[in-house]
Structure 1
Amino acid sequence: MPSFLEERLPVDVRLGMSYADDYTVMITTTSGGAEYRKLVQPFPARSFHINFTTDQADLWSRVIALYHRAYGKFAGFRVKCMDDFSTNNLTGTPTPLDEVLANSSTGIYQLRNFYGTNGTALAGVGYPSRTIFKPVAGTVVAAKNGVTISSGLTVNTTTGLITISPAPLISDTITAGCQFDIPCRFNSMIEVTAIDRKFRDCGSIDLIELLNP
């Protein structure tokens, strides 16, 4: 049974959304009050809190239907964060020079998006990146040594891997940009409240990002 649905949580119905990024940090406090902190994973993990208020038929046919197709908390799906869906300044049109990708000798590269700056570090503290597993089809653009790649570029929109053929040299600088969705799953049940005969409200829907979908 597949554990990820390649479909997007509806965002074109009336909704309210809040979100927050967190990092897994283990903190140990000694008897003297000193703290020892260990960063378990250097990637942001986003959680969403969503409230839908919409027509009953729309809620049932789209939001509730997705919940059931996902078997509740079991399967993941795509979520577009309206404040953070592009490698170009969060919401801009992607460019081939947006983000530097890790070196590869195989011609296969993983899309990613840095937060804070473009992959540099300051005083030993790195600026983290989000691995982009779910780029939006038709939005990925890439460049080699600053020159846009116009042919030989293949994009896997289910993994975020791009393949460049022929494979660049290990010393070449590969950059890329795209729009992306965040892979998430439901982290709560959906409680529906009848507002009147036609409209329904389902608040307190919690979603959590899947770091390894």
Structure 2
Amino acid sequence: MAFHEVRFPDNVSRGARGGPERRTQIVELASGDEERNASWANSRRRYDVAYGIRRADDLAAVVAFFEARNGRLHGFRFKDWSDYKSCAPSQAVATTDQPIGTGNGTLTTFALLKHYSSGGQSWTRAITRPVAGSVRLALGGVEQTSGWAVDTTTGVVTFATAPAAGIEITAGFEFDVPVRFDSDTLDVTLDVERLGSITSIPLLEIRR
């Protein structure tokens, strides 16, 4: 299986439905109490892009995209319009949006991360598909316009010179979600002008 570094059509993804999914096991005890255990350490995102298809041309574009990916075989990029920035949706990307590490004078590689916090709890998400040209970095709050490079297929930032010990490294970026189709069948009406029989076109996040 290969990953195709191509993004699903934006005009269709804008109308899609979906979001994060977690897997929790719940056991109800004889006392009525519950025991809850997380089966997954990280969430996984699911989407249904059928809701984003509004015209026959949209459907044709999705069919072409599906065929080019060989159905479920190959992964691709997807823009989740509800969560595609290192900052709030209404804000512009800034160099200090997300902490990604602290220099030790030796380490030169750091992974892009996004932190989700609420009520004193937090979860950290690895960002593996940053958007080319969107990444901004700062060392100790000072933006760095050179001396580093980012791999847009892994989300790993590499510095030419290791950041000094104790220096906080922060980043701002836009990103895509690596996904694949979750069905080898597209169930659509033959009357493409009415688009009345598209039941579901599911996508599933790829974990790497």
Task: Choose which of 133, 137, 149 in structure 2 pairs with 1:138.
Answer: 133
Q: Secondary structure at the match of 1:102?
A: strand
What is the alpha-carbon distance in structure 1 between the residues aligned to residue 43 and residue 178 of structure 2? 13
Q: Is the contact between residue 48 and residue 200 of structure 2 (CA under 8 Å) also seen in structure 1?
A: yes
Q: Is the contact between residue 54 and residue 200 of structure 1 (CA under 8 Å) also seen in structure 2?
A: yes
Q: What one-letter code is carried by the residue in structure 2 that aligns with 1:49?
A: D
Match of 2:42 in 1: 43
String of CA shifts for 1:43-96, please: whole Å, max 9, x gaps. Answer: 33211112223225x533x31122122221222111111221111113532111
| Cα shift at 1:190 | 1.6
| Cα shift at 1:11 | 1.9
Q: What one-letter code is carried by the residue in structure 2 that aligns with 1:22?
A: E
Does 1:192 pair with 2:191? no
Q: Could you list the runs of 5+ residues in structure 2 that have no partner in the other structure?
A: none
Which runs of structure 2 are paired with 1:157-172 in the superposition (5 Å)?
A: 157-172=152-167
Q: Secondary structure at the match of 1:101?
A: strand
Which runs of structure 2 are paired with 1:102-117 in the superposition (5 Å)?
A: 102-103=101-102, 105-116=106-117
Q: Is the contact between residue 85 and residue 91 of structure 1 (CA under 8 Å) also seen in structure 2?
A: no
Q: What one-letter code is carried by the residue in structure 2 that aligns with 1:128?
A: W
Which runs of structure 2 are paired with 1:1-213 in the superposition (5 Å)?
A: 2-13=1-12, 16-51=15-50, 52-56=53-57, 59-60=59-60, 62-90=61-89, 92-103=91-102, 105-116=106-117, 122=120, 126-188=121-183, 189-195=185-191, 198=193, 200=195, 202-212=198-208
RMSD (Å), alpha carbons: 2.3
Q: Is the contact between residue 110 and residue 132 of structure 1 (CA under 8 Å) also seen in structure 2?
A: yes
What is the alpha-carbon distance in structure 1 between the residues aligned to residue 102 and residue 140 of structure 2? 12
Kindly tell me: are residues 193 and 36 of structure 1, through their superposed partners in 2, closer, same or farther at Cα, counting changes over 3 Å? same
Aligned pairs, number: 202
Q: Percent identity?
A: 30
What is the alpha-carbon distance in structure 2 between the residues aligned to residue 78 and residue 174 of structure 1? 26
What is the alpha-carbon distance in structure 1 between the residues aligned to residue 30 and residue 164 of structure 2? 53
Deviates more, 1:181-190 or 1:18-27: 18-27
Name the TM-score, length of structure 1 as normaliser.
0.84
| Cα shift at 1:133 | 0.7
Kindly tell me: are residues 15 and 148 of structure 1, through their superposed partners in 2, closer, same or farther at Cα, counting changes over 3 Å? closer
String of CA shifts for 1:149-197, please: whole Å, max 9, x gaps. Answer: 121110100111111120113422100010111111111232121345x
